[in-house]
Structures are given as structure tokens and as C-alpha cells.
Amino acid sequence: MTEQVKVLDYGYVQLIDTWGRLSVEDAAGDAALVAAARMSTGKGFLGWGGTENCPSCSSAFLPHYVDASTMKCIACGGTGKRSGDEKLLAFLYANKHMTPFEMGGATFEVMAPIFVFREWHRHRTQSYNEMSARYAPLPDVNYVPSVERLMINAGSTNKQAGTVKDAVELTPETAEAFRKYLKRQYEDSEKFYQEALSAGIPKELARVAMPVGRYSRMRASANLRNWLGFLTLRNDKNAQWEIRQYAQVVQTILGGIFPRTVALFMEGKTG
């Protein structure tokens, strides 16, 4: 379990567990993905390249084939170093042989507004366990977007993110007034909630007045292949700004666990 990484005003992402390393000593989990890909040959993980001299270039006994178009060694591409399993990993990813990428994964604890979770839960390839207001009252923690956040999509033509037809142009002053009113709405909702609980209304029904800006907590677990699918949609420029903030943290953490795979993923998005 690692430290919590703050997201939005009161949210966070925290790595709880990860799997897929060949051993405790492995610095990264990419090696286990390669080993899984070699089940047919039984060779397992052979090692990353770049640390040993290319045998074709340095040996006087082995044949040395050169690419006629580039005049570079075919075995190492002209680097002079042995080509390692990063070549196989890149081949698997580029050609969408994705089964080996299911051999590693991670579990995160997330605190986010309920409306963010509603978007997150659409990824049904993940496993979730969210706190339930049937059993315990939700903490009085609510999301209040900043003025800068409110202004991002002001006047946008994006049908999902933009304003309604014929709306007046949003100003920073109006955005700040919205923030103040939103805080009062949260206070009124919490007061109503607590009064309902005190009046004997069951917790499972007293919660019906909770706004979607109320924070909740969950744990989300998935293999690496499905985390990459999540990031493809939720760390995209067209994703809602709030969930993208969470996706960026998830991507950074996964990059520390599976650095070579996440690098291939990022290259694919920008390439």
C-alpha cells in the first residue's frame, strides 16, 4: 500500500496491491508478461537488451548480416548491443496480442464524487467494492469545482461538455456565485440527511437526497490489459475533466509498475 495521491479538492488515488512480477526482487512487472507470452516455447523471460554486446557484431565466428537499405546490423539494429525482450513486448503490443497483458494488474482505492464513479463503473471489466450508505452514513465531503474548472467548457460546442442552447455566456462572477450556491445546497442536503436519520428513517432511504457531488470511496481492481482500456477512454481529451484527473494518476502509478508497457501505450496514443 502506497501513500494517497490527492485528486480534486478532497479525493485521492492509492495503490493497494499489484501482481505480475516474476519475483519480489523484480523492479517492474513487464518481465512476467514476456514470460507468459512464451508458454509455448518454455523459454520464459530472457532479459532486457542494451547491457551486453551484440553477439553478431562482436563475434568473429557468428555470421553478421547487414540490412542493405540501412547498412545496419540486422540483429541489433546498429546499436551494438544485444536485442532483448523489449522487442518481443513491443511486437505483442503493436500486433494486439493482448492476452499476456492480462497476467499482471493492480488494485486502487479511490475517493471521488459519486458522478465520477458512475462514469468509472461503466468499465465493467474491472472489479469494484464501493462503500455503501445502507450500512454507514456517507461522510459530509462534497466536490466544489473551481472557477477555472467551471470556465473550461463555457461556450463549448461539445454537446456533452458544453452549455445548453441559448444560454448566456458564463463569466467568472457567475461561476463564483454558482460555487457559493452549490455550497449552500450541500449544507441543506446534509441537514436534511441528518434530520432524516435522527427521525428514524432507515439509512438506505435517508440517502436518496444525496447529491452526486458527494464523495464516496471504492476499490477498483483489474488486469493491466483492462487498465489500459480504461486509460484509453478516461485519459483522453474528450473525457470529462474530473475523471481524467483520476486517470492521469492511475497512469502514472501503473507506469512505475509496468514502465515498458505503459511507455508503449503512450507511444501508441501520440504516434
Active site residues: 234
Q: How far apart are CA 240 and CA 160, in angstroms?
A: 9
Exposed e or buried b per residue across 237-260, where buried means at least 16 C-beta atoms within 10 angstroms of its C-beta: eebeebbbbbbbbbbebbbebbeb
- 10 Å CB burial of residue 195 (0-12, 13-18, 19+) is exposed
Q: What phi and psi, each to the nearest 5 degrees, are found at residue 6?
A: -70, 140
Report whether 131 contacts 217 (CB < 8 A).
yes
Return the DSSP state at 220: E
Count Cα atoms within 13 angstroms, Cβ side, for 261. 33
Instruction: From 4, 3, 13, 28, select the one nearest 249 (Cα to Cα).
Output: 13
**Alpha helix stretches (DSSP H) within 38-171:** 55-58, 86-94, 114-120, 147-152
Q: How far apart are CA 103 and CA 227, in angstroms?
A: 12
Q: How far apart are CA 69 and CA 154, in angstroms?
A: 53
